[in-house]
Structure 1
Amino acid sequence: MASLKQTQELFMAYILSDKSTDNAQDDKCSAFTSLITAKSDEDGQTRLGIYASAYRLRLIETIETDHEMLGIYLGDELFDKMAQEYINAHPSSYRSLRHFCDALPPFLQDDAFFSQYPILSHIAAFERRLLNAFDAEEQSRASFSELEQLAPEHWPESRFRFHSSVQIFKCQSNAVESWQALKNQQTPPQPDYSIACAWLLWRGEERLTEFISLTEYQLVLLEGFLQGQSLAQQCELMLNYFDEEQAPTKVLQAIRAWFEMGIIRAIA
């Protein structure tokens, strides 16, 4: 008699197998049918098939829920192709389905067929960032008045700690514009890979996920603060984009906006 561990392994091997060929299904059934209480082998295969089909349908439903706009962009036929191939390539290894689709962007980027359309992996990556922002831990949010209350001599070495929901998304396409069009039930534009784009994503105080585009200097400034750079260091960095009079003003404007957006949780 098979042990519990062996039985579980046989069962998982079956439901995770590719049922696209009869041989694959027959091989799994022959290794497991004898363990199923049934009137006949055919009845055992039917019972196994129900479990396997239900399991894969749940995984497909997860992909569709997590990547709704990607699914619309692909259409039913290509979405089904993507979902089946992704499940075969990346069987679920988590107790929760929350992270099941984490590998979808690199899968789309590397797959022989889907890699022909780089915007697909970009849309998938953007949707993962949205999920990460929404699911992030709730934390307190600082106000600009806290910075104003600091003694002037402390300003140069001030550093900022950001809310856990803050995400940066970068891509070489109009993936976000396409996502927005689909979200608004509009026809997405043709893929455009001619420009590099950067976006800031976060969850606001109303628990709604928000995002805005970033200019080059805004991206550099935000990444610097996220890496722990001081206010003085960031003002000096902005001299690559502005003159000595404009640089501090631009930095202060950005910081004030971040406080108003609620993405800064503390001043260090």
Structure 2
Amino acid sequence: MSKDQQQADKGRLHQLQQDFMAYLLQGEPGPALADRLKRQIRDQGGISLDTRIGIYANAYRVRLTEVLETDHPNLALYLGDDLWNTLTSAFIQARPSQFRSLRDFGDALPDFLRQHPQFNQDPILADIAAFERRLLNAFDAPEQPRAAFEQLQGLAPALWPGCRLRFHPSVQLFKCHSNAVESWQALKQGQAPAAADYSAQRAWLLWRGESRLTEFISLAPYQLALLEGFLAGEDFATQCAAMLAYVDADQAPVTVLQSLQAWFSMGLIARLDPGRQG
């Protein structure tokens, strides 16, 4: 076989692959695409072309629907079968997979829910979806060694003010203005969730513990401020000053130290970056 013929065969194969994927993504091929497919794919075993490629198209959508339900089981429960089917069909149509791994397929689901006119009237839906994505991210984060509280205790006093924390990759913060997490917890326990409540901002900390179980806890405002500061790279002295908005001056260092001790015991801290001795 000549090199030109090999190149021509590769070109035809590539075109067939592109046409077949276009059909899977579009569902209903236009006239030009349908004509090319009919010229490249034969009827076989008494099964027509339309039936054969329709089987593949249906299987493709079923697989993507299964992926979404695996990643978002409690969102599916919250919506119920009919609305869940409506959501997944609309999402697959609007956001066809562009990823090599199906793990990333649902990343755009929270934004889709915020934008879609049938679902954006209930912001709790996007919040539940976003929380479930955070759980996935925490579970899938790479493993790293975790620091012990004794390492902090062993620092020279002069190094404490400039000390910064580096967190385990699984650590995630989640903020929303709904009772999405409480609803998620109710569904997880087989209970009916309360009505959507948008009365206040809520904050949550998620991480994967040393037992490799994903965990989460709610955060008080001062805890959120403390975590956000340290995650942004602020040092111990700066974070003690930030606590003055929540506690008395003599309590600020104690509040920070107690929080740090808890974080170390929870396995949140990967390492310390001590400040320089002045």
The TM-score normalised by the length of structure 2 is 0.91
Structure 1 match to 2:258? 253
Q: Which amino acid aligns with 2:197?
A: D
Selected match of 1:207 from 208, 212, 215: 212
Alignment map for 1:50-199 (pairs within 5 Å):
50-199=55-204
Cα distance in 1 for residues equivalent to 2:211 and 2:65: 30
Which residue pairs with 2:26 in the alignment? 17
Distance 1:117 1:241 in 2: 33
Structure 2 gap segments, 5+ residues each: 1-8, 274-278
- CA–CA distance in structure 2, aligned partners of residues 27 and 246 of structure 1: 73
Deviations 1:31-75 (A, max 9, x none): 412211215996111110011111110000000000000001111
Q: CA deviation at 1:107?
A: 0.0
- Aligned-pair distance for 1:7? 1.0
Q: What count of residue pairs does the alignment treat as equivalent?
A: 264
Deviation string, structure 1 residues 120-166 (Cα, Å, up to 9, x no partner): 00000000000000000000000111111111111111110000000
RMSD: 1.6
Confirm or deny that 1:37 pairs with 2:46.
no
Please tell me whether Structure 1 or Structure 2 has the larger radius of gyration of its CA atoms. Answer: 2
For 2:15, which of 6, 13, 27 is the aligned residue? 6
Runs ≥4 in structure 1, deviation > 2 angstroms? 24-31, 39-42
Q: For residues 101-124 of structure 1, what are the alpha-carbon distances to aligned partners after superposition, in whole Å with 9 as ceiling and x for unaligned?
A: 000000000001110111000000
In structure 1, runs of 5+ residues without a counterpart are none
Amino acid at match of 1:205: E
Distance 2:72 2:201 in 1: 23
- Identity value in percent: 56
Task: Say whether the 8 Å CA contact 1:33–1:41 is kept in structure 2.
Answer: no
| Alpha-carbon distance between aligned partners in 2 of 1:85 and 1:28, rounded to the nearest angstrom | 22
Instruction: Check if 1:242 corresponds to 2:255.
Output: no
* One-letter amino acid of the counterpart of residue 59, structure 2: A
**Distance in 2, Cα, partners of 1:166 & 1:70:** 22
Q: Deviations over 1:241-261 (max 9, x none)?
A: 111111111111111000010
In 2, distance between residues paired with 1:18 and 1:64?
21
SS at 1:103 equivalent:
helix
**TM-score for the superposition, normalised by structure 1:** 0.95
- Structure 2 distance, partners of 1:13, 1:238, is 56
In 2: Cα distance, 1:25 partner to 1:60 partner? 24
- CA shift for structure 1 position 240: 1.3
2:211 is aligned with what amino acid?
E
**1:263 maps to which residue?**
268
Letter in 2 for 1:14: Y
Instruction: Give the 3-state SS of the residue equivalent to 2:93 in structure 1.
Output: helix
Distance 1:225 1:41 in 2: 66
